[in-house]
A and B are shown apart, each in its own frame.
Chain A
Amino acid sequence: MEKTLKKVDIIFEIDKSCSPLAVLDRTLQRPADEIILDLIDSGLKGRGGAGFPTGLKWKFTRNETSDVKYVICNADEGEPGTFKDREILDRVPEKIFVGMTICAYVIGAREGYIYMRGEYNFLLKSLQKKLDDFNAMLTEKGVDFQIYFKSGSGAYVCGEESALFESMEGKRGEPRNKPPYPTVAGYNNKPTVINNVETLVYTTMICHMGPERFKELGTTDSRGSKVFSVSGDTPIPGIYELELGMPLQDFINEFGDGDAKAIQVGGASGHCVPRKKFSDTIIGFEGIPTGGSMMVFNSSRSMYNVLHDYLEFFTEESCGQCTPCRVGCQQLLKGIEAVKKGDKPPAYLNDLKKLTATMKIAAKCGLGQSVGNPFNSIVDNFKEEIIY
């Protein structure tokens, strides 16, 4: 079932007749299992990029036996080209707090944390007050749950969930081995639900509008809508909530400047789609999944510079813990520089591609595993720009 581009207003919608707090009151009256069933039925998958079914995550954590469990909101939005979580935090923070509280009720948590990147600390001026009010309101209602802010300090890798836990525990933000998964052993090695900012808002909204209405949007594999961060060569950069499952061609017809030659879908760690593939690329879990970053490049841009920029980014942001990622990122960067200068023959790009295959298998976390996405999609589609 092919979809066309459709703008939606769920995340930022302000419904005067039904405030987030009213949704909270109503939802806390319902049995926890029923809420989980609704979430599973809605088909909501994580909006941070990895796309794990949210209802299952909550269910697994609920099923763990532990006196202490945690709800964590991952607001360490660091993927280049992504800025939607900042906007959500700024405009509808209460919907996030409510989503966290519903989750806490479902899994049995008494503490929740919002881990927000240090680059967004300026938001705290207004957010801390709103959170204090919300916490006070919970205490007044007799809900045994409190939320706290934690700040990051400028490390992209801390958006990886286990690195985020390490950082919260006062350590270097180095990802852990998995399993165990966070649902079993997350923050402080206790069962933890960690959800992206946007995902938590959707849980609130699904509790508000019901799974049926959410399911009406999107496709079988990609239910609902998603907030997109649109940047680059577009006359209308910004944040847009769109129905999932649209062809990239529809997207570019709306947002392009008429001269788009490529779109980087999913940020630096995502895939680069060239113009000739716009019409048969679907935005969603059945096509190219995305954390929401859409960077448009027109024909005036050098794709070598784009790839070089991404590789520099990964080389700097690799935590350095595992060799495939630490050395791999450096070698990819040096490799394309050498090919460009003519120090290495064009065929050397094939060796570099093999290196990304090794990184995909051997790197410890998503950072190193996904460097091959931009590398291969840019090298394969714009080889002449990399070489000449």
Chain B
Amino acid sequence: MSTTQLMVKDLVKRNGRTRNSLMPVLQGIVQEENFLSEEAMLSVAEELDISVAEVYSTASFYTFLDTVPRGKNIIRVCKTITCHMKGKDEIINALSNALKIKVGETTSDKQFTLLTANCLGWCHKGPVMLINDDIYPDLTVEKALDIIGAYSQKPK
């Protein structure tokens, strides 16, 4: 049994073998592997005894349940109106230049994926970005670059 299959088995065991567990199970996989691979989805379908089409149907609906490979650190810069007004474009351009990727792409070392997101709920402290589950409000270009720098220092 592969590590992915073992992880799915464990997640299903912890969340319960019911259809209602599908979201937490998928969220658990993304937490570990950054995206939902075909293998992972097939394995979830088998463990929950539902069609793999239903697993994909749910997975493909949600922005945070990616079905394409993502980097270890997923950066989501808020692009909604107040962050727009406060300069999210400068932040995105700076990150894009520093990481040498465009929005939607992943660095070749698989460390970072750069994405934009709809309103993250920090309109009074924009611009703001989410890296994995952690929030960084009141951004300036310098601050954003420092934060990315700190993430690249972390053990791979």
Chain A residues packing against B (C-beta within 8 Å): 77-83, 86, 117-122, 150-156, 167-174, 188, 229-233, 237-239, 268, 293, 295, 301, 305-306, 309-310, 313, 316-317, 319
**B124's closest neighbor in chain A, by CB?**
A237
Chain B residues near A317: list those with CB within 8 A. Answer: 118
Q: Tell whether, in the assembled complex, residue A120 and residue B121 are in contact, meaning their CB atoms are under 8 Å apart.
A: yes
Q: Tell whether, in the assembled complex, residue B123 and residue A237 are in contact, meaning their CB atoms are under 8 Å apart.
A: yes
Give, as a whole number of angstroms, the nearest-CB distance from A173 to chain B.
Answer: 6
Chain B residues packing against A (C-beta within 8 Å): 19-24, 26-27, 57-58, 61-65, 80-82, 84-85, 117-126, 130, 133-135
Chain B residues near A229: list those with CB within 8 A. Answer: 123-124
**B26's closest neighbor in chain A, by CB?**
A153
Known: A83-B123, A168-B23. A309 touches B80 (CB 8 A): yes
Give, as a whole number of angstroms, the nearest-CB distance from A48 to chain B.
Answer: 14
Q: Tell whether, in the assembled complex, residue B27 and residue A151 are in contact, meaning their CB atoms are under 8 Å apart.
A: yes
Partner of B121, one of A86, A151, A171: A86
Partner of B23, one of A153, A293, A301: A153
Partner of A170, one of B22, B81, B84, B135: B22
Contact sample, A vs B, 23 pairs, CB 8 Å cutoff = A79-B119, A81-B81, A82-B119, A118-B64, A119-B121, A119-B130, A151-B24, A153-B62, A153-B64, A154-B63, A170-B20, A170-B23, A174-B61, A230-B124, A232-B123, A237-B123, A239-B124, A268-B119, A295-B82, A295-B123, A306-B81, A313-B80, A313-B118
- C-alpha gap A233/B85 in the complex (Å): 9
- C-alpha gap A86/B121 in the complex (Å): 8
Q: Tell whether, in the assembled complex, residue A169 and residue B61 are in contact, meaning their CB atoms are under 8 Å apart.
A: no
Q: Tell whether, in the assembled complex, residue A122 and residue B134 are in contact, meaning their CB atoms are under 8 Å apart.
A: yes
Chain B residues near A268: list those with CB within 8 A. Answer: 80-81, 119
Q: Tell whether, in the assembled complex, residue A80 and residue B85 are in contact, meaning their CB atoms are under 8 Å apart.
A: no
Q: Tell whether, in the assembled complex, residue A156 and residue B118 are in contact, meaning their CB atoms are under 8 Å apart.
A: yes
- C-alpha gap A80/B122 in the complex (Å): 9
Q: Tell whether, in the assembled complex, residue B121 and residue A117 are in contact, meaning their CB atoms are under 8 Å apart.
A: yes
